[in-house]
Every structure is written in structure tokens, then in C-alpha cells.
């Protein structure tokens, strides 16, 4: 694996590659990222992973500063997955000038995560587009764990005619159901033992909807209550349509239930796709 930190060397290394699969990350890699690398390895002759903690997408500087940076162990994990190139640019290389052009995402960027993180998806879409322009991948992989991000990047690729196939990787979970995330590191031992509750309430909604329940409002309310009664601060538990992320409707087949809630100081997000028969 080659570790590349500057744009000129990146271009020189990639110019003869005809099938590049790209996985953007902020590092602190876990089995979720590695599962994307495994899919990428099967699909492309050259696998590129980026590690870049994107300051733009943090609303608070203290969150940006405390984001775990584990470059040494990340690189070892990527070598084991036979990744060809690890691109870890310096901030000054990616942003030689103040970033004043942004990708304006569709309105569904303002709901769910977008309601709680101002301009978050604008800033994610912008950095991802910058990476696409630098790497020119044929394939790019994103995890379903960040469901809204996946949908926004897919819409960007479609609407801006980018010649890139987006592949979605399944969420990887611990044995008790907790979705893998870099943020899990912030949980205390006690919080960790309770953290799986978010997955459990989403799973209960999935089971109820797949068995025919159409009373989405009361399912959502009940899940919120369960979490609140156990000390969580809930941002949202909401059923939406998978592709458009429009609110769920009883006559629509492919749904997803998404949740975000805070346990102590740690904000966790998760989601489950739901398949209903009309």
C-alpha cells in the first residue's frame, strides 16, 4: 500500500488506473470500513481509501479536536485489506484557499441529521465532491450506517451526472446489535451496556411494521418514550421512505426507520431498512 499525502503524487500514482474504487473516511477505522474495503477489493483493480478529518463538517471545534486520530493502526488495517493507496492529505493541500464554493444539497438534507447539524450535508457533499474530482473513481462506497449521507451522495452523483457507481455497504454491528461507529469509543462502560437500546427500539418498529402495523406515529412515540425513560435525550425516531427520505406513508413499500439520540455526552445514530408488502 502506498501512503500519499499530496495531490501531485496522487495524480501521478492514479493516472494509469482504469478501475478505481474509492472509500472516503475520517479514519479511526473499524469493521464497517473494512467491510467496504473488502467489497471494493472484489470490484476494482485499484482501491483508494482517504483518511481526512473534515473540519467543515464539525459544528464545534472541540468535537473536531477530540475526534480520534489513529493513523498508524488504520494503515495496518488497510494493508491487511490489500488497499492500494491510502490518501491522507494535509488540510492546506485540500484547502489552499478558503472554501467559498459549496455543493447545495436537496431539501431532504435539512431534515433528520440536517435539522440538528446546520450545513452538515452541504459540507459533507462538498468534501466528497472534492475527493471525487481528485481521485476520479469509477466506484465509491458508503456505509448504510450514515443513511442520509448515502442518499445525499447518491443524489449528488445522479443529479450532477458524475460517472461514478455508488455502492452501499451494510451496517456492521456488535453481537448485541450496536452499530459500529467511531463515536462508540466515547461511551463509558455503563453507557456501552445501555447503548444497544437504540437498536432495540428501531428493531421493534421494524418488526411491527413488517407484521402489518400502519400506526407509524404511535410506534415512533413509543420508541421515543422508551429511550427517554431510560435517560436518553432523543433527537428523532422517524419512519421515512428509503429513496427520497420523505416521511413514510402506509401505501409505500420500501421504508427505513432512523434514530438519533444522546446517551450522556455521546450522540448515536442508527437505522434499519424495512420491507413491507402492500
Positions marked catalytic: 33
Q: How far is the CB of 23 from ligand PAF (least distance, A)?
A: 9
Residue 118: count of CB within 10 angstroms of its CB:
10
Residue 148 binds ligand PAF (CB under 6 A):
no
The answer to whether 250 touches 278, Cβ cutoff 8 Å, is no
| 128 touching ligand PAF, by CB under 6 A | yes
Which member of 4, 14, 25, 234 binds ligand PAF (CB under 6 A)? 25
Query: Per CB under 6 A, does 32 bind ligand PAF?
Result: no
55 to 74, contacts with ligand PAF by CB under 6 A?
57
Residues 179/199, Cβ–Cβ less than 8 Å: yes
Is 124 a binder of ligand PAF (CB under 6 A)?
yes
Residue 95's DSSP bridge partners are: none
Ranges assigned E (strand) in the chain: 2-4, 20-25, 46-51, 85-87, 139-143, 165-169, 233-241, 254-263, 266-275
Site for ligand PAF, residues 78 to 97, rule: CB under 6 A? none
Residue 142 CB, shortest distance to ligand PAF, in Å, is: 7
Q: Does 141 bind ligand PAF (CB under 6 A)?
A: no
- CA pair distance 144, 177, nearest whole angstrom: 15
Q: How far is the CB of 278 from ligand PAF (least distance, A)?
A: 33
Cβ burial of 123 (10 Å; 0-12, 13-18, 19+) is buried
**Minimum distance from residue 218 beta carbon to ligand PAF (Å):** 33
Q: In sequence order, what are the residues at sequence separation of 6 or more whose Cβ sits closer than 8 angstroms to the Cβ of residue 93?
A: 5, 6, 7
146 binds ligand PAF (CB under 6 A): yes
Interface residue list for ligand PAF (CB under 6 A): 24-26, 54, 57, 124, 127-128, 146, 149
Amino acid at each position: 500500500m502506498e501512503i500519499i499525502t499530496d495531490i501531485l503524487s496522487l495524480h501521478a500514482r492514479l493516472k494509469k488506473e482504469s478501475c478505481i474504487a474509492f472509500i472516503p473516511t475520517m479514519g479511526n477505522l473499524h469493521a464497517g470500513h473494512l467491510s467496504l474495503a473488502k467489497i471494493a477489493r472484489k470490484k476494482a483493480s485499484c482501491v483508494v481509501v482517504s483518511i481526512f478529518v473534515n473540519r467543515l463538517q464539525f459544528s464545534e471545534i472541540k468535537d473536531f479536536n477530540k475526534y480520534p486520530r489513529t493513523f498508524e493502526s488504520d494503515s495496518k488495517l488497510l494493508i491487511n485489506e490489500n488497499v492500494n493507496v491510502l490518501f491522507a492529505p494535509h488540510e492546506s493541500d485540500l484547502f489552499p484557499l478558503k472554501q467559498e464554493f459549496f455543493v447545495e444539497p436537496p431539501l431532504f438534507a435539512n431534515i433528520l441529521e440536517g435539522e440538528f447539524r446546520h450545513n452538515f450535508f452541504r459540507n459533507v457533499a462538498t468534501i466528497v465532491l472534492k475527493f471525487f474530482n481528485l481521485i476520479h473513481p469509477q466506484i465509491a462506497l458508503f456505509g448504510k450506517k450514515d443513511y442520509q449521507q448515502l442518499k445525499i451522495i447518491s443524489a449528488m452523483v445522479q443529479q450532477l451526472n458524475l460517472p461514478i457507481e455508488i455502492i452501499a455497504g451494510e451496517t456492521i454491528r456488535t453481537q448485541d446489535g450496536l452499530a459500529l461507529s467511531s463515536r462508540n469509543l466515547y461511551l463509558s462502560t455503563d453507557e456501552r451496556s445501555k447503548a444497544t437500546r437504540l437498536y432495540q427500539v428501531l428493531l421493534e418498529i421494524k418488526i411491527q411494521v413488517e407484521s402489518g402495523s400502519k400506526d407509524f406515529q404511535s410506534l415512533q412515540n413509543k420508541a421515543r418514550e422508551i429511550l427517554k425513560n431510560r435517560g436518553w435525550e432523543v433527537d428523532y425516531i422517524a419512519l421515512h421512505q428509503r429513496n427520497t427520505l420523505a416521511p413514510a406513508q402506509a401505501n409505500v413499500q420500501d421504508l427505513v426507520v432512523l434514530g438519533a439520540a444522546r446517551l450522556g455526552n455521546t450522540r448515536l445514530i442508527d437505522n434499519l431498512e424495512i420491507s413491507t408488502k402492500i
